[in-house]
Amino acid sequence: MNAALKQKSVRGLETAWLEAGPVDGDILLLLHGFPDTAASWSYQTKAFKDRFHVIAPFIRGAGPSEAARAIQRYGTDGVALDILAILGEVDPRGERRIYLVGHDLGAVHAWHLARLLGQRVAAMVIINGLSLRQMLVRWRHPRQLLKSWYIFLMQLPLVPELAVRAAPRAMLSLAHGLGGLPQASRPDAVPLRGALAGPLNQYRAFIREIPRLTRRRSPRLTCPVLLLWGADDAFLVPPHAAELAHDATDVTIRIIEGNHWLQREQHEAVNGLIEAFFSLKSAKGDPA
Amino acid sequence: MKATDPLDHETLARQVKLQRRLAWDMDRDIPWHLGVDPGKPFLPLDDQAIAFPGASPEQALALSQYMGLVVNATISEMEDALPKLKQAGWARLLDDYPVGPELRELGELFFDEEAKHANAFSRYLDQFCEATAVERRDLDALLPKAFGSFFQKAIINNAEHGGHAFWWVVANVEEVSIGIFHQIMRHRQAVDPLFFALHKRHLEEESRHGNYAFLMLNLVARKPPSLRDRLHRKVDFLVSQIASAPWVVTELYKFFDVRRLRGVHPFFDTLASCIPLYESMSRAEIVRRMFFAAPYVSWVLNPSWREQHVDTARVHGAIVPPLPKPHAVELSLPHALRTSA
């Protein structure tokens, strides 16, 4: 996909990202979920590198980004600080517009980052993912709780780490299989031993953040948000139209054919919808 | 009439554009200036179906016109009732499963067009009264009314409890109204020109948006089901039949109220003179004919006539009453009308 691997030490830990496209263009920030890496955006990097400066960070502990001991480094604030450091590296003056795309747990980080970045965010696309507030609300729904069984499994000490260290390929294959990702759409790269152990701490960090979340009032985002949803997602129930009313003022929801990993399984349709959404929103505001 | 996949956003976007471009204007695009020709029939009838053998030319004309007015009033009533179900039957479903903005936009167009159709059919009834000097109030006493009926309450109640019987009823009306137009089309030279023009305009938009009810039913089938959804998928088709059939039969029995209008107007006198044609049959025989032999009526009452309706019900795994198909009858204008038309 012709993306360059970049690395930088952020608060004492090696932090990596993939980068492609014109370095002075608008930034397209792609945030992956679990158990993915920045490479899961290969189709989008290829499709958008001519128009955007594509930045796809490896979330803490994923791929070449060094794992942390402290759980907080995997939470929304910890990951946001990593990504802000990357943005500081690629756009030191902080003047370029940012288009955000987040999938799965990357969506949690995208919502949080969008609030921190404020007016710099021109538009955001969420693919089969939730904000932390949505996660909290959805845990009152039995169907979502049933689909989220693995989140509770991740709270066990050591057991998940032992499983992903002992058989990373099998665990990855299990996750993709449960999610219904066809063999042809699965990434070629085999995860390194231990590469999945760090990122799963995100689930633990989020659970710890929830009590704080109930006390925190987050402002609604004013940037346009597109929520793309695979109709056959095995891990998340489809969104309700009013579900994001507390999170953003301008939300478009589209449910399309596909599963949890839409950006891989339906990459052409997803790229087309992202392109159309960003073009439309650019046309309404300043030219991109 | 093929229903689009509710997740096919591109096709839906094209449909929105098409509907916006081709929508007709009720005042401008229907030749109201023609007025209703009281000497022309409205609907072709079947000589053998209910009780028309032996009807005089005047009786046949009055019955053809009465059936035409019943059809217009039924479509007007049904389509007028739609906005009352918009929140419970439509908006709630799209909120629960918001597949995309186009489906919502199409729905808004659908409701707008249905309200327009209801007004147009009601205006035709006004024009009929104007042309014949029949009082609208007297005529309304013989025509179907949905507002406040058990039927309407049952459908609203079903929608408020997460059901979709509403869409089964709409799909029924859409499919039958298209079938009715095909019959009118075959006798276009003989029927009242305004009646024909109105149904032609109606069909144009029904065929453009007519699959919206089936589209919504497809959406229901695509939505990941809760336990309650599964139950509704199973029974809502039946609920729509059970709620609508008694309403149709009851409203048709209003015909016999024409006895009270004897002496009010010659149109009512002629209709009243047809009652003995019915009275020669037992009630059971009339009901049997309503389900299996009477054109238009049996199409509404007997789901086996409505192929797309039943096919969609089977996709939902819905319970479909195992009624035999209505008899295929050749519809024509009664012989006396053909010669006089």
Tens digits of residue pLDDT in B143-185: 998 877 888 889 999 999 999 999 999 888 888 888 888 888 8
**Mean predicted confidence (pLDDT) in A208-227:** 84
Pairwise CA distance, residues A241 & A256, whole Å: 15
A226 chain-B contacts, CB cut-off 8 A: none
B58, with CB counted inside 10 A (0-12, 13-18, 19+), is middle
Tokens of B299: 């199409």
pLDDT at site B303: 86
The answer to whether B100 contacts chain A (CB < 8 Å) is: yes
The answer to whether B94 contacts chain A (CB < 8 Å) is: yes
What's the pLDDT tens digit per position in B187-234?
A: 888 899 999 999 999 998 887 765 889 999 999 999 988 889 999 999
Q: Between chains, do A240 and B95 touch, taking CB under 8 Å as contact?
A: yes
pLDDT at site B298: 84
Which pLDDT band, with edges at 50, 70 and 90, does B340 fall under?
A: very low
Tokens of B218: 């497809």
Which pLDDT band, with edges at 50, 70 and 90, does B320 fall under?
A: confident
By Cβ distance, the residue of B7, B101, B223 closest to A252 is B101
B226 chain-A contacts, CB cut-off 8 A: 143
Nearest CA in chain A to B226: A143
Domains and their CATH numbers in chain B: 34-45+52-340 (1.10.620)
Residue with tokens 């179907």: B144
pLDDT at site A288: 41
What's the pLDDT tens digit per position in B101-124?
A: 999 999 999 999 989 999 999 999
Which pLDDT band, with edges at 50, 70 and 90, does B72 fall under?
A: very high
Q: Which of A119, A100, A116 is nearest to A52 (CA)?
A: A100
Pairwise CA distance, residues A231 & B276, whole Å: 60
By Cβ distance, the residue of B95, B100, B226 closest to A255 is B100
Q: Cα Rg for chain B, rounded, in angstroms?
A: 20
pLDDT > 80? residue B310: yes
pLDDT at site A249: 93
* Probe site for chain B from A240, A254, A273 (most B CB atoms < 10 A): A254
Q: Which of A116, A112, A142, A138 is nearest to A205 (CA)?
A: A112
Q: Between chains, do B98 and A256 touch, taking CB under 8 Å as contact?
A: no
pLDDT at site A28: 97
**Mean predicted confidence (pLDDT) in B230-253:** 91
Q: Which residues of A touch B (CB under 8 A)?
A: 143, 231, 237-242, 252-257
Helix (H) / strand (E) element for A235: namely none
- Report the C-alpha dihedral over residues A259, A54, A36, A7, rounded to 10 degrees: 180
pTM over 0.90: no
A7 DSSP β-pair partners: A16
Which pLDDT band, with edges at 50, 70 and 90, does B334 fall under?
A: low
CA distance B15 to chain A (A): 17
Q: Between chains, do A240 and B101 touch, taking CB under 8 Å as contact?
A: no
A253 chain-B contacts, CB cut-off 8 A: 98-100
By Cβ distance, the residue of A143, A242, A255 closest to B99 is A255
- Picking from A90-104, A272-286, B304-318, which range would have the lowest pLDDT averaged per residue? A272-286
A255 chain-B contacts, CB cut-off 8 A: 7, 97-100
pLDDT > 50? residue A287: no
Q: What letter does residue B324 receive in the DSSP assignment?
A: P
Tokens of A137: 């609300």
Which pLDDT band, with edges at 50, 70 and 90, does B302 fall under?
A: confident
A274 chain-B contacts, CB cut-off 8 A: none
Rounded to the nearest integer, the mean pLDDT of chain A is 89
Which pLDDT band, with edges at 50, 70 and 90, does B341 fall under?
A: very low
- Please state, as a whole number, how many other Cβ atoms lie within 10 Å of the Cβ of residue A187: 16
Domains and their CATH numbers in chain A: 4-279 (3.40.50.1820)
Q: How far is CA B38 from each of CA B133, B164, B181, B184, B192, rounded to the nearest angstrom? A: 10, 40, 20, 17, 8
**Complex confidence, ipTM:** 0.85
Q: What letter does residue B50 receive in the DSSP assignment?
A: S
* Probe site for chain A from B96, B104, B105, B229 (most A CB atoms < 10 A): B96
The answer to whether B222 contacts chain A (CB < 8 Å) is: yes
